[in-house]
Amino acid sequence: MVQEITKAQGESGKDKDKDIRLSLSDIPLKACYTPDDLQGWDVKNDLSEPGQFPYTRGIHHNMYLGKLWTMRQFAGYGGPEETNARFKYLLSQGQTGLSTAFDLPTLMGYDSDDPKSHGEVGVCGVAIDSLEDIEILYKELPLDKISTSMTINGPAVIIFCMFLANAKKRGFDLKKLNGTLQNDIFKEYIAQKTYLLPPRPALKLIQDMMVFCTNEVPRWNTISVSGYHIREAGATAIQELAFTLADGFAYVEAGIDAGLKVDDFVPRLSFFFNAHIDFFEEIAKYRAARRIWARRMKEKYAAQDERSLKLRFHTQTAGCSLTAPQPENNIIRTAIEALAGVLGGTQSLHTNSMDEVLGLPTEKAAHIALRTQQIIAHETGVANVVDPLAGSYFVEWLTNKMEEGANEYFCKIDEIGGVMAGIEKGFFIKEIADAAYRFQQKLDNGEFNFIGLNSFTEEAPGTKIDILKIGLEYEERQRERLNALRARRDAQKVSEALASLKEGAKKGESTFPLILNACEHYATVGEISNVLRDVFGAYREPAIL
């Protein structure tokens, strides 16, 4: 998506029009790039071979020649039965990893029978209330042979403890489990807003989990530092890059503060980026991200393990680039964005379905989205060469510009006292809000052409599609299951486990084993969350002036 602006420039008393184009992040672009645009660029250090520091061209020397990216379609709706069936369908169609979407009550730490949950149960993801739901959700799935991703943040530790409790019951070795927990609480305060506690106690929960998993679940990615939601909230590509990496560095420092050695836990941090519609800008963003991370980890944090230097990331195509009018156009957008993710060197990929702007994906739409990845992988030939755009004057120049822009933001964040201070002062929220407002102005005045939304808006034939609708029957079933669970579980053990958690949290003890114990006795998400809220309080956003 490129903006074209006409500026009048005075020249010898005469006006001369000149077209200037801007990237989606408002980077001014020339019509053509030459070697002169790369003067002063350290080719030897910045553009080494793939798999070599600073990994601009990819973290593996052979990239997709050795192994294709993981095709990990996001799935979750209704109750655990429906999502389990969708998982099995996607795996039967060639998906190679699981990715779990949770409903809003679960994301906020409320049970399905809480009054605040009414009308939202199972609507935007799967409803999970207890270990029993997790047992159903992952029933008959080979958790020791397939990687599992869970997109949840505020109560992430609770859901992960339920996952581990289920794995233990099924006899899996925790040290062999492979997957990712999003667990990125910083971006919740910055963008998505599904937080459970104030920032500082929420970070303590994450530190407790990092310590536990470093010792007991060493193959699990304990945090997926997410720029995706930052971008969806209205950030530019540069802001997404800068804020995401700043969050990542803050988690590194949190791990160090918890007593961990850098190379013992940093290799289990991963990242999650948006793939937006400005094709080359997105590719440059990914390449710059790897380079920035590698240098900072080596130079500031003295990482010695090569794995600590390699930024691994998942990509999801941009939900905010999809349109409700003419939804079939979204298939085209998704294919282009997915291709950018692949050419940028992603390790796993989710392609949005054409109907996600209208509701949860239907089976047909999810099928098309998965086939989009498979066609890119097996028909286009783009996976036959590592980093095929390397050396492009434009791509390399744009990669440098993305890095420069991110470094400018790092300086601003340092000046205000770091990520935590930036959250508490509302810095990130204001920056994103301003960027979103500027973009909306460009849509409103027609500076950007958004096909089907503000241009070519005539109704095209064949655009009426089926929409997956979630009724109250899922909520009723979850309520019934919760009532039955509470009636048959050992209420005394649940009460004791929750009391132990409350006392331990007050004393500053590690919360992770205490939460795991409560989950094993079938305490619910809401019950555990309420204990934590009682101890640490609720969070209110700062006023933004």
CA distances from 475 to 275, 418, 448, 483 (A): 33, 42, 42, 12
**Residue for token digits 């300086």?**
411
CA distances from 455 to 131, 194, 291, 304, 451 (A): 49, 34, 38, 52, 5
Query: Do residues 182 and 212 lie in contact, with contact meaning Cβ atoms separated by under 8 Å?
Result: no
Q: What is the CATH number of domain 36-444?
A: 3.20.20.240
Q: Name the pairing type of β-strands 3-11 and 14-22.
A: antiparallel
Ordered strands of the 14-22 beta sheet: 3-11, 14-22, 28-29
Cα 1 from Cα 158, distance rounded (Å): 40
Ramachandran assignment for 12, one of left (phi > 0), alpha (psi -120 to 50 degrees), beta (any other): left
DSSP 51-87: TSTT-TT-SSSSGGGT-PPEE--EE--SSHHHHHHHH
Amino acid at residue number 370: L
* Helix, strand, coil share (%) of the chain residues, nearest 5: 50, 10, 35
Ramachandran assignment for 119, one of left (phi > 0), alpha (psi -120 to 50 degrees), beta (any other): left
Element (H, E) at 367: helix 363-378
CA distances from 262 to 88, 249, 267, 302, 308 (A): 37, 11, 9, 8, 8
Query: Do residues 526 and 129 lie in contact, with contact meaning Cβ atoms separated by under 8 Å?
Result: yes
User: What is the pTM assigned to this prediction?
Assistant: 0.92
Q: Quote the Cα angle for 362-363-368, to 5°.
A: 100
Task: Give, for all 545 residues of the chain, the pLDDT tens digit.
Answer: 445 444 333 343 344 345 679 999 999 999 999 999 998 877 666 778 999 999 999 999 999 999 999 998 778 888 999 999 999 998 999 988 888 999 999 999 999 999 999 999 999 899 999 999 999 999 999 999 899 999 999 999 999 999 999 999 999 999 999 999 999 999 999 999 999 999 999 999 999 999 999 999 999 999 999 999 999 999 999 999 999 999 999 999 999 999 999 999 999 999 999 999 999 999 999 999 999 999 999 999 999 999 999 999 999 999 999 999 999 999 999 999 999 999 999 999 999 999 989 888 888 999 999 999 999 999 999 999 999 999 999 999 999 999 999 999 999 999 999 999 999 999 999 999 999 999 999 999 988 999 988 889 876 555 578 887 888 999 999 999 999 999 999 999 999 999 999 999 999 999 999 999 999 999 999 999 999 999 999 888 877 65
The domain ranges of the chain are: 3-31, 36-444
